[in-house]
Amino acid sequence: MELEAYKAELAREILMSDSRQLLDKVKMVLYGESSVNINTVKEDCVPYIPRTKSEVLDDLKEACEEARLIREGKAKGFSAEDLLNEL
C-alpha cells in the first residue's frame, strides 16, 4: 500500500502545481520524451576522474588491512546503524 500512497501524494503535488514548465517536464518524462533538452539547475559537480588500476588496488589493500585490524580487535568498526545515519 506504500506505493499507492506515494502515487497519490505525487498526483496531489502535480495537481497543485501552477507551473506550466514543471508540468511540461513531468509530461515529457512520463512519456519518454526526456531526450529533449530541458533546462535544469546544475549543482556544483565534481568532474568524474577515472581511477587507475593501481589506485583501486591500493584502496582494496587498505580496506582489507582495516578489516583485518577490526577482526583482531585493534581497531573499531562502524555499526550498520551509524553507516545508514551518515547517508
Please write the tens of the pLDDT for every residue from 66-83.
Answer: 999 999 999 888 888 887
Give the whole-angstrom CA distance, residue 82 versus residue 87: 9
Q: Which three cell numbers stand for residue 30?
A: 512520463
What confidence tens digit (pLDDT) does each residue in 7-48 have?
Answer: 899 888 888 888 888 888 888 888 876 555 556 666 667 788
Mean pLDDT of 51-78: 92
